[in-house]
Copies of this chain bind each other. A is one copy, B any other.
Amino acid sequence: MTIILRAEPLTRDAFAPFGDVIEASGSDRFTINQGLAERFNDLARIDTASEQGQTNISIVRGAPQPLPVSLKLVERHPLGSQVFFPLQDRDWLIVVADAKDEPTPQSLRAFKARGRQGINFARNIWHHPLLAPAPFGEFLIIDRKGPGSNLEEHWFSEGERPILAE
């Protein structure tokens, strides 16, 4: 039986088991620059220093994947966290697995983020690769660079692939 997945709204509480939601809201804010700016501070736990790792800044430009989309795989990064922050104000989708070791189609959850919401996947959280909005999406990525193997993939067999639908 094919699993049909639908996205729930992205909130800090709902996403807490998987990492951080990065958005201009919440209580840890203060005024800076002689009153000319407001800073929403310390929005994510950046975890990139393991095994001589350093913080890496990149831009990813992704092709759109219109719904419904068949989810072929999830991946995780055993050595560090990974931020995706959208550079356009358009909704986008995030898929994670609520599973410690072996992800299953049943363990997937999907979130719909607004264009002003970024996320930080905690280390070792299984997630689908970027699902960019149409016509294309650019994201600022903050993750780890350094020695060691930082990517694991889990592919679903063709018969078990879940469908992410509207």
Contact = CB atoms under 8 A, between A and B. Distances in A.
Interface stretch (A7-15, A47-55, A92-100, A105-113): A47-55
Given A33-B62, A39-B141, A57 B116 contact: no
Given A55-B142, A87-B87, A60 B37 contact: yes
A61 interface: yes
Given A55-B48, A55-B142, A129-B33, A60 B83 contact: no
A152 to B, nearest CB: 15
Interface of A: 22-24, 32-34, 36-44, 46, 48-49, 54-63, 65, 72, 83, 85, 87-89, 116, 118, 120, 129-130, 132, 138, 140-142, 145
Given A42-B58, A49-B49, A49-B54, 10 more contacts: A22-B57, A39-B58, A39-B60, A39-B141, A40-B58, A42-B145, A46-B55, A55-B142, A57-B142, A85-B85
